[in-house]
A and B are shown apart, each in its own frame.
Chain A
Amino acid sequence: MQEMDVSVWRGDANGGGLEHFKVPARDSQTILDVVAWIQQHADPTLSYRYACRVGMCGSCAMMVNGVPRWTCRTHVKTVLKDNAITIAPLRNLPVIKDLAADMDPFFDKWVAAGGVHHPTRTRDEPIEILDPKTPERVETDTGIECINCSVCYAACDTVSNNVDFLGPAALQRAWTLYLDPKDADPNAILDAVSGKGGCHNCHSQGSCTLHCPNGLNPMKAIAGLKRATVSSFFKGGR
Chain B
Amino acid sequence: MLGLKLYMAQRLSAMVMIPLTLGHIAVMIYAIQGGLSAAEILGRTKGSVLWFLYYGLFVLSVSLHASIGLRVIVHETLGLKGRALEIFMWLSGLLLLAMGLRALVAVTL
Interface, chain A (partner B; CB < 8 A): 158, 161-162, 164-165, 194-198, 200-201, 226, 229-230, 233, 238
User: Is B8 in contact with A197, judged by CB distance below 8 angstroms?
Assistant: no
User: Is A233 in contact with B1, judged by CB distance below 8 angstroms?
Assistant: no
Closest to A201 in B: B2
Residues of A close to B2: CB separation below 8 A: 196, 200-201
Residues of B close to A198: CB separation below 8 A: 3-4
Residues of B close to A194: CB separation below 8 A: 3-4
Residues of B close to A158: CB separation below 8 A: 76
> In the complex, how many angstroms separate the beta carbon of B3 from the nearest chain A beta carbon?
6
Residues of A close to B3: CB separation below 8 A: 194-196, 198, 200
A233 to B4, alpha carbons, bound, how many Å?
8
Counting from the closest, the 6 A-B pairs by CB-CB distance are A200-B7, A161-B76, A194-B4, A201-B2, A200-B2, A196-B1
Write the B12-49 contact mask toward A (1 if CB under 8 angstroms, else 0): 00000000000000000000000000000000000000
User: Is A238 in contact with B4, judged by CB distance below 8 angstroms?
Assistant: yes
- With an 8 Å Cβ cutoff, the count of chain B residues facing the other chain is 12
Residues of B close to A230: CB separation below 8 A: 4, 8, 11
Residues of A close to B6: CB separation below 8 A: 200
> In the complex, how many angstroms separate the beta carbon of A102 from the nearest chain B beta carbon?
22
Determine which of B4, B7, B11, B76 lies in contact with A162 in the assembled complex, contact meaning CB atoms within 8 Å. B76
> In the complex, how many angstroms separate the beta carbon of B6 from the nearest chain A beta carbon?
8
Residues of B close to A229: CB separation below 8 A: 4
User: Is B8 in contact with A162, judged by CB distance below 8 angstroms?
Assistant: no
> In the complex, how many angstroms separate the beta carbon of B88 from the nearest chain A beta carbon?
16
> In the complex, how many angstroms separate the beta carbon of B86 from the nearest chain A beta carbon?
12
A217 to B11, alpha carbons, bound, how many Å?
23
A198 to B77, alpha carbons, bound, how many Å?
18
User: Is B4 in contact with A197, judged by CB distance below 8 angstroms?
Assistant: no
> In the complex, how many angstroms separate the beta carbon of A165 from the nearest chain B beta carbon?
8
A69 to B70, alpha carbons, bound, how many Å?
33
